[in-house]
A and B are shown apart, each in its own frame.
Chain A
Amino acid sequence: MDLKQRLSLLRRDAPRQHAPPLSDRLGRLGGAAPGRPMPDEETARLLGGECIAGGLILVEQMLPLAARHGAQPLSEVREAPLSLLAGDGPVDSGGLLFLDTETTGLAGGTGTLPFLLGLARIEGEVLRLRQFFLTGFKGEAALLEQALPWYRQARHLVTFNGKCFDLPLLVTRYRLARRAEPFGPLGHIDLLYPTRRAFARNWPDCRLQTAERRLLGFVRSDDLPGHLVPQAWFDFVRLGAADRVPAILLHNRWDLVSLAALAAALARLYARPEHDEADLLAIARAHRRNGDMHQAYRQLRERRQRLDDGGLLELAALHRRNGEWDEAAKIWEQLAQRGSAEALERLAKYQEHVRRDYRAALALTRLLLERQGAKPGHLRRQSRLAGKLGS
């Protein structure tokens, strides 16, 4: 009995957990005529690139910055205040390296191969794209090597979810190839985080293509959905089925151009949060965390009418920081009338410590006790104020 027979015998009625998860895909594959791998030169011709090493094809393209991506002018990326997104000092647009990979799976780990590495950078008036495509496994060493000069010349990587996905994968590949990973000296702007911060409250999800539609006004047509990408590459490698390979490269190219456009759009948004769906408070807090109090203050003050209670409290806190007590008190009063307990407490503190109007402070504290019950902090304040009034 050969191994296959033995296994099928063992598996015949074995519990379902042994069923191969790929069975349905295999079923589809089974119908296809057995193909032969396509020669590299032919693949290169198909993709409009050149074969630069065994198993590795380089496709280069230039895109004028004068172009728009959806409604977003690409040229804006050169002047955009990208440091608002990076939070670690000045960012020079010439040192940006946009990076996106296509992989054999989303699970991560050593068995996941990035078979397409897309890089893009700004060179004068153009966005220069460089896509390294593997036609199998043997070209990987050359890919890792060929990408090095671009990493060396860059200052900041720009990705979408690259911190958790693309970068750990690439680091893994360098380790597997027994090479030092080249990313140590590079800064990294992962656009997923500023996108999520600004829009998580109002968008159904924060995927790149959602941002393209809602922020850039760009809609892909005939895009190869990301979840079909691995199988398209497997079919190409195993059966020489190249029909969907150009679509993989196009998908990756759109990702790269979207990175440049999104960086510009997000930087502008963080400088002037005009987008209807943007969360003003979250953006202001991000500025605060980066130590840019002024930016936070200015943005909230200028858009005071659009703020919800959380935003107003944040603005009041910034007023207080600047010593603008009257402004702060006005907001707290407005909120207290609407029933905000936090505003009441702020007001009580303000009356006690700034105005030293103990009577008003005590009245506010009693209101709080009524509203929130006997919290220890309120009780302490009440007895302290009663003492101050008594003496």
Chain B
Amino acid sequence: MTGLAQPRDDVPPAEAEREGAPARDGRGVERLIGRLRRKYGGRVTGELVMPARPGDFADFPGELDPRLAHALRGRGIARLYSHQRQAWEAVGRGRHTVVVTPTASGKTLCYNLPVLQAVLRDRAKALYLFPTKALSQDQVAEILELNQAGDLGVRAYTFDGDTPGDARAAVRTRGDIVVSNPDMLHQGILPHHTKWAQFFEALRYVVIDEMHTYRGVFGSHMANVIRRLRRICRFYGSDPVFIFCSATIANPAELAQQLVGELVAAITESGAPQGKRHLLLWNPPVINPELGIRASARSQTTRLARLALKAGLKTIVFANSRLMVEVLTKYLKDVFDHDPRRPARVAAYRGGYLPGERRATEKRLRAGGVDCVVATSALELGVDIGSLDVCLLNGYPGTIAGTWQRLGRAGRRNRPALGVLVASSDPLDQYLVRNPEFFLGSSPEHARIDPDQLLILMDHVRCAAFELPFREAERFGRESLGEMLSYLEGQGLVHLEGDQWHWMADGYPANTVSLRSVAEGNFVVVDTTGGAKEVIAEVDYSSAAMTIYQGAIYMVQAQPWQVERLDWEGRKAFVTRTRADYYTDAIDYTKLKILDRFEEERIPAAACARGEVHLVRRVAGYKKIRYYTHENVGYGKIDLPDQEMHTSAVWWQADPRRLAEAFPNRWQALDGFLGAAYAMHFVAALLTMSERQDLGRAVGDSNATWFAAMGPDGRGRPQTLSGDAPDLEAGREFVPTVFLYDNYPGGVGLSAPLYDLRREVATRAAELVGACECSHGCPACIGPILVSDEQRGFSPKAAALRVLALFAPAAG
């Protein structure tokens, strides 16, 4: 019996055929939506239908080079979309330009047209920067196709870490368009700019695609790399025009202006046609009303994915963590890929897979060989994966912008598409699905950068001094350059002679500066099963402590490996194949110490302040969680070095006397602080329009003698960093503190806007908790409550409200 003749238990072949065929004309999507409404109407809390939109077209510009027009027609393009034409006009006037467009709206022509025109007419040069190598390669392939269609003779090359040494000279001297990434520009090109002299002299355009990824620390570094690039260009007598492309964010023009340091024209209306789109907000049903517990998002997402696949619809599932990608992939593979003789229908895609494996999955996706892909935000970027019908979000991605970007993955070529946002029990998720008008009416987030953050700025002043001597009259950023250079002189790095500051040290500063804030190098995961030694994955430094500790279950394409040993210094994790029926989840604690107070406001019952803090994070242990039942089947200890960070924070403290009046004992107060912090954290993320992971949250003592977290029994537990439990009642001082901190080394400027919103944070958090329908607290307001009210003897929800009333007396 062949594999094909075997009847499949999930979809009878006849049904698959009957339902699969109409999917191609779009009725499959409509039918699925109808079915979801009929069967699960109560779970759909909000719905949005975006009608199909016709395209808005414009003719080729009159001055378009005929060879280029010919090439476009050869690729089946007879007219432009209106935004492509607007970009042409703006760039033609020599203005820096940012184009904000949805997925698959032909954004690449917005920059390829002016660039190719300049190459053909004037042999001008262009530099394209993409945040990842994979995107660079796609881009070169696309230019080459256009090139071939019109026989243009334009030379486009990638220049990155993979470019062989003997090809580099040719790229430098012969490339019309050089496609690279910020890290390569920073470490490989700018410090060797004399080798690129010809290129810089003729540089007319710099194209920066996926601009929305340049936020936070990475964006702050990028703005400084651009300062250095423009400085080098001035040396060679050129002043290139910058063309940015971005997914939707609240402030594209502002971000582009911060990146380039000059005014930028913004084009935000897409002229591309769009198919009809449905968006459903989906709340899992309540399964334990007493504890406010809902069915997991995971179970709902799996069910929706199964329905979509059975209806013959190509589906993408986004999960918010790499772990969840693996868990969902396993569950779906258990249904659809249990016969190893058939090609797999379900694939996982996430960061950490080896590049070759990712390329292979992308190729299978484009070729339509995969019916369902489960991915992290790694697929948010412009990786071309062809057209999909359904997009499922397992949990809110954390931002409005990220949500729309992921949803944009479905419904490319003018076909109706369905997106479903499945809420998790997280308060942010619950807030959104319960207040659909908030989500559907909200603008996407601001992308914030702080190019003058002192540590980052100093890093680039060093790099720039290496590249060219600074003149005394020069400027670099908003801080005083002279003062910065004097500081570097004190460190023995630069030397003032005449009116010039020269680099005078043995070293190569760019190699000590990483743009991506994790300077510590990747870990590799080495499979040692059966004496082999094969690298199966990479893990970045920041997530190593949480994912590859000794004893962890590490998954690749839903296959489990167990970590036998973690070599922290050597950056290696040795794993072996395992058949474990559980996965592991790390538990971490954070402790903060206040170093300096910048500003402070006292109200009668409390104080709120902003300042510098020192943070220690410890990954203390992990839980073993059984598949499907999700019960806790054990704990393990993790022995890893602490991670330390210096950043800025906003914190709230209650007046000790008022606190003592409000609570019968300190334990209850502590539970109140933990609940209040939980609610304040997500309100703060919403109000500052930042991503939740940009802000960290901690509850502890202001002197950092103890910190608190939710223990396995669901009660607040104070702990010292050495692991002892302090006696709360014994100490004379009891000043519990809620910290919300900027989650980047040095900070990227989040604490100042947060401090300005301090009253609203407390007020809105009190409103949120007060209005929640649960009885004693739930994951949607103050966090998961495991111990029922009776055992505890008091309501943690009421405790949190009491704390918030101290912080925001008006709302109390």
The residues of A with any CB-CB pair to B shorter than 8 Å are 2-4, 6-7, 9-15, 17-18, 20-22, 25-26, 29, 104-111, 113, 136-138, 168, 171-172, 175-176, 230-231, 234, 237-238
B504-519 vs A, CB cutoff 8 Å, 1 = contact: the mask equals: 1111110110100001
Is B614 located at the chain interface by the 8 A CB criterion?
Answer: yes
A110/B197 contact (C-beta < 8 A), A17-B512, A104-B506, A138-B497 known: no
Whether A231 contacts B506 in the complex (CB less than 8 A), given A3-B487, A7-B458, A29-B492, comes out as yes
A4 touching B487, Cβ below 8 Å: yes
Q: How far does the Cβ of A222 sit from chain B's closest Cβ, in whole Å?
A: 22
Q: Chain B's nearest CB lies how many Å from the CB of A37?
A: 9
B556 at the interface (CB under 8 A from A): no
Quick check: B495 and A21 within 8 Å, CB to CB?
Answer: no
Which of the residues A4, A12, A22, A108 comes within 8 Å of B595, measured between beta carbons? A12
Closest Cβ neighbor of A2 among chain B residues: B483
Instruction: Determine whether the beta carbon of B495 is less than 8 Å from that of A238.
Output: yes
B398: chain A residues at CB < 8 Å are none
Q: Are B191 and A3 neighbours in the complex by a CB distance under 8 Å?
A: no
B238 at the interface (CB under 8 A from A): no
Q: Indicate if the CB atoms of B498 and A9 lie closer than 8 Å.
A: no
Q: Does B434 contact A (CB under 8 A)?
A: no
CB distance from A315 to the nearest CB of B (A): 32
The listed residue (B493, B504, B509) touching A237 by CB distance below 8 A is B504
Assess the A171–B493 pair: CB atoms within 8 A. Answer: no
- Could you tell me the distance in whole angstroms from the C-beta of A12 to the nearest C-beta in chain B? 7
Q: Are B467 and A110 within 8 A (Cβ)?
A: yes
- B480 pairs with A137, CB closer than 8 A: no
A176→B195 CA distance, assembly (Å): 10
Interchain CB contact under 8 A, A15 and B455:
no
- Please measure, in the bound complex, the distance between the C-alpha atom of A111 and the C-alpha atom of B503, giving whole angstroms: 6
Given contacts A13-B644, A13-B646, 18 further A-B contacts (CB under 8 A): A3-B487, A10-B454, A12-B614, A15-B519, A17-B512, A17-B514, A17-B519, A21-B512, A25-B492, A29-B492, A107-B511, A109-B191, A109-B466, A110-B466, A110-B467, A110-B468, A111-B508, A138-B498
Q: How far is the CB of B95 from chain A (nearest CB, A)?
A: 30
A-contact bits for B382-421, CB 8 A (1 contact / 0 none): 0000000000000000000000000000000000000000
Is B27's CB within 8 Å of the partner chain A? no
Q: Which secondary structure dominates chain B's binding surface?
A: mixed
CA distance A78 to B33 in the complex (A): 91
CA gap between A30 and B469 in the complex, in Å? 25
> Can you pick out 9 interface pairs between chain A and chain B where the beta carbons lie within 8 Å of each other?
A3-B480, A4-B487, A15-B519, A21-B512, A22-B493, A22-B507, A111-B191, A137-B469, A234-B504
List CB contacts (< 8 Å) of B454-502 with chain A. Answer: 454-455, 458, 465-469, 479-480, 483-484, 487, 490-493, 495, 497-498, 500, 502
Most chain A beta carbons < 10 A, residue from B468, B507, B745:
B507
Given the known interface contacts A10-B454, A26-B492, the answer about A15 and B645 at a Cβ–Cβ threshold of 8 Å is yes
CA distance A22 to B493 in the complex (A): 8
User: Are A20 and B646 CB-contacts (below 8 A) given A3-B480, A13-B614?
Assistant: no
Contact A9 B508 (CB under 8 A): no
Contact between A175 and B197, CB atoms less than 8 A apart: yes
Rounded to whole angstroms, the CA-CA distance of A144 and B504 in the bound complex is 19
Q: Kindly state whether residue B371 has any CB partner on chain A within 8 Å.
A: no
Q: A3-B487, A7-B487 are in contact. Are A110 and B193 (CB under 8 A)?
A: yes
For A104, give its contact among B468, B479, B505 (CB under 8 Å).
B505
User: Are B646 and A12 in contact (CB-based, < 8 A)?
Assistant: yes
B505 close to A105 (CB less than 8 A)? yes
- In whole angstroms, how far apart are the Cα atoms of A136 and B487 in the complex? 20
Report how far A171 CA is from B512 CA in the complex, Å: 25
Chain B residues contacting A12 (CB-CB under 8 Å) are: 595, 614, 646
Question: Of A10, A113, A237, which is in contact with the most chain B CB atoms at under 10 Å from its CB?
Answer: A10
CB distance from A262 to the nearest CB of B (A): 26
Please provide the chain B residues from 53 to 109 with a CB less than 8 Å away from any CB of chain A in the complex.
none
What is the minimal beta-carbon distance from A228 to any residue of chain B, in angstroms? 10
Closest to B643 in A: A15
Contact A10 B465 (CB under 8 A): no
Which B residues touch A238, using CB under 8 A? 492, 495, 504
Closest-CB distance, B616 to chain A (whole angstroms)? 9
| Given A111-B467, A111-B508, A171-B194; A22-B497 close (CB under 8 Å) | no
Q: Do A9 and B495 touch across chains, with their CB atoms under 8 A apart? A: no
Interface residues of B in 322-339 (CB under 8 A from A): none
Residue of A nearest to B519 (CB): A17
Instruction: Tell me whether B500 and A137 are in contact (CB under 8 A).
Output: yes
Out of A7, A172, A176, which one reaches B454, CB within 8 Å? A7
Minimal beta-carbon separation of A89 from chain B (angstroms): 24
| A137 with B507: CB separation less than 8 A | no
With an 8 A cutoff between CB atoms, is B176 at the interface? no
Task: List the A residue with the shortest CB-CB distance to B468.
Answer: A110
Residues of A within 8 A of B614 (CB): 12-13
Whether B495 and A137, one on each chain, are in contact in the complex, defined by CB atoms closer than 8 angstroms, is yes
- Interchain nearest-CB distance for A96 vs B (Å): 27
Closest-by-CB residue of B relative to A55 is B497
The 4 closest A-B pairs by CB, nearest first: A111-B466, A107-B508, A105-B506, A175-B194
B194: A residues at CB distance < 8 A: 110, 171-172, 175-176
Q: Does B192 contact A (CB under 8 A)?
A: yes
Interface residues of B in 581-634 (CB under 8 A from A): 595-596, 612, 614
Residue of A whose beta carbon sits closest to that of B593: A13
Query: Which residues in A have their C-beta under 8 angstroms from that of B746?
Result: 10, 14
Q: Which residues of A contact B645 (CB under 8 A)?
A: 14-15
Q: How far is the CB of A239 from chain B (nearest CB, A)?
A: 11
CB contact under 8 A between A10 and B192, given known A3-B487, A29-B492, A137-B502: no
- In the bound complex, residues from chain A placing their C-beta under 8 Å from that of B508 are 105, 107-109, 111
Chain B: minimal CB distance from A97 (Å): 22
B745 & A15 in contact (Cβ 8 Å cutoff):
yes
Contacts of B596 in A (CB 8 A): 9
CA distance A255 to B186 in the complex (A): 35
